[in-house]
């Protein structure tokens, strides 16, 4: 599992924008920026939709006021699902990034097998990334939702 002080692995994520499908490298997404990244096991799932994403939406202004350049949400879903999920929650201040094949999640060592639920998914976590280096990492234990909450991350900025 990636640790605080380590550089993010080279990988690509997808984003569906008004210009169409974009394939983005982690270098392009994280170089020369301070980013809060949070990951969820699945778009449109209960805790993710009812608490995790909405809290980051609500606190986006306070997070960016702490010198954060961008907030990214990533899930092992496709870019079409991530775009629809973001639109359903009015997440205009959060980039909704897809890790459709779980390659980024697996490279981080933050993958989990949910078997009948959906196969390989991401653990629930949040991280602070400065110029591609992880400066804060907050990984939830299974079935918990404490350390990756927007409020908890805001306290660490």
Virtual torsion, Cα 48, 150, 78, 35, nearest 10 deg: -170
| C-beta separation of 96 from 86 below 8 A | yes
d(CA 40, CA 12) in angstroms, rounded, equals 17
| Per-residue model confidence (pLDDT) at position 98 | 98
| C-beta separation of 142 from 148 below 8 A | no
**118 pLDDT above the threshold of 80:** no
Task: Please tell me the CATH code under which domain 12-156 is placed.
Answer: 3.40.30.10
Active-site residue, 73 included: no
**Long-range contacts from 143-149, C-beta under 8 angstroms, 24+ separation:** 145/47, 145/51, 145/52, 148/38, 148/52, 148/124, 149/51, 149/52, 149/55
Q: Where are the domains of the chain?
A: 12-156
Q: What is the pTM of this model?
A: 0.96
Catalytic residue among 48, 70, 96, 97: 48
The helix/strand/coil state of 31 is coil
Mean pLDDT of 90-98: 97
d(CA 99, CA 104) in angstroms, rounded, equals 6
pLDDT in tens, 13-52: 999 999 999 999 999 999 999 999 999 999 998 899 999 9
């Amino acid at each position: 599992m990636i640790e605080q002080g380590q550089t993010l692995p080279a990988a690509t994520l997808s984003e569906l924008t008004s210009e169409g499908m974009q394939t983005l490298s982690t270098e392009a997404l994280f170089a020369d920026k301070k980013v809060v990244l949070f990951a969820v096991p699945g778009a449109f799932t209960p805790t993710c939709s009812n608490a995790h994403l909405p809290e980051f939406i609500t606190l986006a202004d306070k997070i960016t006021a702490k010198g954060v350049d961008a907030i990214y949400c990533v899930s092992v879903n496709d870019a079409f699902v991530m775009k629809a999920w973001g639109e359903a929650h009015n997440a205009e201040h959060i980039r909704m990034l897809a890790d459709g094949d779980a390659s980024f999640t697996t490279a981080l060592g933050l993958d989990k097998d949910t078997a009948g639920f959906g196969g390989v998914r991401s653990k629930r976590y949040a991280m602070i990334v400065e110029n591609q280096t992880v400066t804060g990492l907050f990984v939830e234990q299974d079935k918990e939702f404490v350390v990756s909450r927007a409020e908890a991350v805001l306290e660490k900025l």
